[in-house]
Structure 1
Amino acid sequence: MSDISSSQPPFPPEQIGAFLRLCAGEWMSLRSKFSLGAVMPDDDLDAEDRDDWHSSERGELVVAFLEPEAAGGAGGLRVGPKDGVSQELQFSADGCFLSGNQAGNWQLWPDGSLELVITGDGREVRERIWFTKPNLRLRSTVETNAAGSPGRASFSSEIRRVSRPTVPAS
């Protein structure tokens, strides 16, 4: 008797290329954003009555896998809103990535999450992406200043859009 599970790729992916390929698709997103360092009470409101430190928004995100530019490369992603400008991220096998004119580091953790870190301009942005199921992924981002104080953070839950199979007319 053959073992069907041995033919299935591991989930979550254990290699960066497989992780990036799993990211490809159209995603419905719900993102909550928080301004952690900017909460300053004014004369008229108590800090707990202010509502401008957080917001939530829905959106659609399109992610395309980009084949590696060089042999042994990990590949890349083109990411952007459905009706907007996208950006490209190119990953190298040595744990570095490029996004526009910014360079960062990536690490695929044993728990199956991918962490991206960009440091510069007196701040660090750390993003973690993980899948709970192949069609459900979560993302968290935290920006800190040089002293280590948090500034902004966000959390996104994203559901992959899947199309129904077409049924032939009889």
Structure 2
Amino acid sequence: MDFSDFITQCAGKWFSQRTSHTIPPQALEAGTSDFWIDLIEPGDSTLLERCQSVGIAPEQVTCAIRTHWQGQVGTANQPNSGATFSLFVANDDPQQGQFWRWSEDKSDTSVIQGHYHLGEDEALNLSASTDSLTSEERLWFLNPNLRERTSVVTHKAGPRYASFCSEIRMGLK
């Protein structure tokens, strides 16, 4: 599978079950959510705007996605929702490159820049760093409708969080 095929396989509506905790282990937190991953067409106005904001020509973009979610997090079952916009640009090797991710919350204007690599094991590895945190994320498919995801987020102030998600495709829309 190549990177573009991996991203295309991610498109659709998903149900996620997530378990996370701080490292070293403390209280466990669990949650569920529905989320949608939409592929972005090359001429999309948001894509063009985002490319301009980071100095990338739109024809350099390998692919772009919009992800939005809603769900329940933690023992208090607090509702949670949000959306992000991500674009990917390959290096000389199309299996790896850079990505940029923006929150679609108008009050958050920050952009996260990182690197991606799709390994020979067909797992996608994403790593990013900001002034306040670093993150490592790994995604892979057990079959076309079942995806697994792990992540470790380290805040520069000290706390580290690890999570595991099992994600089931619920449909294409």
TM-score normalised over the length of structure 1: 0.71
Unmatched runs of 5 consecutive residues or more in structure 2: 48-57, 72-80, 92-96, 103-110
Deviation at 1:71, TM superposition (A): 2.6
Q: Once superposed, which parts of structure 1, at least 4 consecutive aligned residues long, lie more than 4 Å away?
A: none
Give the % identical residues: 29
* Higher relative strand content: 2
Deviation at 1:16, TM superposition (A): 1.5
Matched residue type, 2:154: T
In 2, distance between residues paired with 1:144 and 1:82?
A: 24
In 2, distance between residues paired with 1:78 and 1:62?
A: 8
Which segment is superposed worse, 61-70 or 113-122? 61-70
- Counterpart pick for 1:28 among 1, 11, 15: 15
| Cα deviation digits, residues 2-47 of structure 1 (max 9, x gap) | xxxxxxxxxxx2x2111111100000110001111474xxxxxxxx
The answer to whether structure 1 residue 81 and structure 2 residue 55 are counterparts is no
Kept in 2, the 8 Å contact 1:142–1:150? The answer is no
Q: Secondary structure at the match of 1:92?
A: strand
Deviation at 1:61, TM superposition (A): 0.9
Deviation at 1:91, TM superposition (A): 0.3
The answer to whether structure 1 residue 91 and structure 2 residue 88 are counterparts is yes
In 1, distance between residues paired with 2:150 and 2:159?
A: 13
Map of 2:52 onto structure 1: none
Count of equivalent residues: 136
In 2, distance between residues paired with 1:62 and 1:122?
A: 27
Q: Secondary structure at the match of 1:111?
A: coil
Matched residue type, 1:97: F
Deviation at 1:114, TM superposition (A): 0.5
Structure 1 pair 38–32 and aligned structure 2 pair: CA distance change class (3 A): closer
Matched residue type, 1:156: C
Q: What does 1:148-163 correspond to in 2, within 5 Å? A: 151-162=160-171
Superposed CA RMSD in Å reads: 2.3
| Cα deviation digits, residues 136-158 of structure 1 (max 9, x gap) | 000000123569x8710110000
Structure 1 pair 108–150 and aligned structure 2 pair: CA distance change class (3 A): farther
- Counterpart pick for 2:116 among 106, 109, 128: 106
Map of 1:63 onto structure 2: 37
Kept in 1, the 8 Å contact 2:14–2:171? The answer is no
Structure of larger gyration radius: 1
TM-score normalised over the length of structure 2: 0.70
Q: Secondary structure at the match of 1:19?
A: helix
